[in-house]
Structure 1
Amino acid sequence: MQVISLISGKGGVGKTTLTSNLAIALSQRNKRVLVIDLDPQNAVRHHLGMDPNDDAGLVREGIFPEVIFESPFGVDFIPFGRVTAEELLEFEAGLEARPTWVATALQGLQSIGYDYILLDTPPGATVYLPQALNAAARALIVVLTDAASYSSLRKILKLLAEYKKDPANRMATTHILLNQMQEDSELAQQVRAAMMDSYGSKMAPMVIHRDALVPEALAYERSVLQYDPDAQASRDIQHLADWLASRN
């Protein structure tokens, strides 16, 4: 069971969309995949076909086999859940007091036989980040090829270095993944080159290109992989899935 955390230094990088599509790509390789939404935005459910009126999620139900949803895309998931402000404050206080809560809960899922568990997290240094890092052996830092992402990358890497000093943290590998890359943008090419110069050994060996078919597929409640398997983003995500599978 390989646990992968998808994290970011800033919002708006397309991390949840990428997480959901990556999970589907891994499932298409006959892997059993679970996505756990650790982001209070509770957006994974929109990508994996959950009834929008359903309030269930890990805040109220926890992480147990009985609360796992089956998506129509061959991927299981546990949503964050819709909660009140008071419930959220209480939940986050509990996470801060028990930084290995997620890691401990995942041990109870081992009998199900998941090949991959993907953890979607909110951006930045939140209470959810140590939970994800303590549970995962690998982290993918999702960034855009813009100046703001380049600036935030140094901060998130410094933060990860501090977390890895904790003996409870089992994360062994960190890679930076460029998302929504625009090949025809000079600025994007410059930022990509700067990231390669600064963090070459940490860069994933592929990029996910910006593709208008990704939001179009979501509008039709489908993944881009199924909506158009030959789309540029579909091919990129398939490449990412193959690369991750080869590194088990």
Structure 2
Amino acid sequence: MRVIAVVSPLGGVGRTTLTAHLATLLARQGQRSLAVELCAQNLLGRHLGMHEASTTGWARAAADGQWWAENGFDNSDGVRVLPFGAASLETISTLHQLLQAQPRWLQDQIELLDIPSDCTVLLDTPLWPSPWAQSALHCADTVLVALEASARACAALSSVQTLLRSAAAAPSEQGVLVTRFDPRRVSHREALQTLREQWGERLIPYTLHEDENIARALARAMCVGSLAPQAQSAHDLQGVCNWLVGQRAAPASMLVSGAALP
């Protein structure tokens, strides 16, 4: 199977949104996909059809020494979802102790999943460098780093470089994605240009624009491709999905004098 980790050292950049939408797009292309939520915010299910956050999930089961994947579900798009579930601070502390005692725990549990060998597993991670984000990096074949178009993202260069050095994925399977981009804002355009200079070919040639349709879709417990298939964000997310499945070059329509447009 293929494992993709969606990570970031910055909060609010859309890790859960990306995980849910990319899993959905892969499923709609006929590929098997499993979305695993490693973040205690427990919001992944809301993006994938659940109108209320899941009370049951893998976290409590794992902390109690039970099989972690018992409480997964399949949504209407064919995505298998393994939510974090409601968890107390004691449960979260127990999980951290578990991971400290067994650094390969996550990798071993993924390998034990009863899923087809051609399945793509997407890991929605907490803020790096949390233990679960670091564990995801150790077992992922592909790493997608989400950075918003902002000055703080530009200032995070050293942190992201450290993050990527700790990943098991080959450099060719490491990508940086700019999210929440509003081309009307000068600061966003300037930040995007800086990020392009910093990351070069590692910057994914698609930029996820700020789009209220994503928030509207979340309010309806659905993906933006279903709510507003013609939205800019739906187009952007499809481009990112294309990158994940191997279409790494920007299409000619995005190129002007050799530079990718936002």
Which of 82, 85, 94 aligns to 1:81? It is: 85
Please list the CA deviations of residues 74-127 of structure 1 after superposition, one character each: whole Å capped at 9, or x if unmatched: 211101111111111111111122221111111112643452110001112111
Aligned equivalents of 1:160 and 1:244: distance in 2? Answer: 17
CA contact (8 A) 1:55 1:82 kept: yes
Aligned equivalents of 1:182 and 1:4: distance in 2? Answer: 27
1:154: which partner in 2? 158
Secondary structure (helix, strand or coil) at the match of 1:49 reads: coil
CA contact (8 A) 1:99 1:134 kept: no
Q: Is 2:220 the counterpart of 1:220? A: yes
Aligned equivalents of 1:129 and 1:53: distance in 2? Answer: 21
Q: Is 2:138 the counterpart of 1:140? A: no
1:50: which partner in 2? 50
RMSD: 1.9
Please list the CA deviations of residues 52-73 of structure 1 after superposition, one character each: whole Å capped at 9, or x if unmatched: 3642111123465543211223
Which residue identity is paired with 2:9?
G
Please list the CA deviations of residues 40-61 of structure 1 after superposition, one character each: whole Å capped at 9, or x if unmatched: 1111021112363642111123
Q: Is 2:191 the counterpart of 1:191? A: yes
CA contact (8 A) 2:9 2:160 kept: yes
Aligned equivalents of 1:154 and 1:129: distance in 2? Answer: 17
CA distance change for structure 1 residues 111 and 37 in 2, over 3 Å: closer, same or farther?
closer
Aligned equivalents of 2:16 and 2:136: distance in 1? Answer: 15
CA contact (8 A) 1:10 1:149 kept: yes
1:9-158 to 2 correspondences below 5 Å: 9-50=9-50, 52=52, 54-62=54-62, 66-109=70-113, 111-158=115-162
CA distance change for structure 1 residues 124 and 153 in 2, over 3 Å: closer, same or farther?
farther
Aligned equivalents of 2:79 and 2:234: distance in 1? Answer: 17
CA contact (8 A) 2:45 2:54 kept: no
Aligned equivalents of 2:202 and 2:144: distance in 1? Answer: 10
Aligned equivalents of 2:220 and 2:69: distance in 1? Answer: 29
Identity, in percent, stands at 29
CA distance change for structure 1 residues 160 and 83 in 2, over 3 Å: closer, same or farther?
same
2:252: which partner in 1? none
Number of residue pairs aligned between Structure 1 and Structure 2: 242
Gaps of 5+ in 1: 165-169
Please list the CA deviations of residues 11-55 of structure 1 after superposition, one character each: whole Å capped at 9, or x if unmatched: 011111121111111111111100000111111021112363642
Aligned equivalents of 1:243 and 1:39: distance in 2? Answer: 25
2:181: which partner in 1? 181
Tell me whether 50-59 or 209-218 shows the greater mean CA deviation.
50-59
Aligned equivalents of 1:151 and 1:54: distance in 2? Answer: 36
Which residue identity is paired with 2:113?
L
CA contact (8 A) 1:8 1:124 kept: yes
1:167: which partner in 2? none
CA distance change for structure 1 residues 41 and 177 in 2, over 3 Å: closer, same or farther?
same
Tell me whether 1-10 or 56-65 shows the greater mean CA deviation.
56-65
Aligned equivalents of 2:54 and 2:148: distance in 1? Answer: 32
Tell me whether 230-239 or 146-155 shows the greater mean CA deviation.
146-155
Aligned equivalents of 1:51 and 1:98: distance in 2? Answer: 34
Aligned equivalents of 1:38 and 1:78: distance in 2? Answer: 9
Tell me whether 48-57 or 118-127 shows the greater mean CA deviation.
48-57
CA distance change for structure 1 residues 146 and 54 in 2, over 3 Å: closer, same or farther?
closer
Secondary structure (helix, strand or coil) at the match of 2:91 reads: helix
2:251: which partner in 1? none
Q: Tell me the CA shift for residue 203 of structure 1.
A: 0.6
CA distance change for structure 1 residues 200 and 110 in 2, over 3 Å: closer, same or farther?
farther
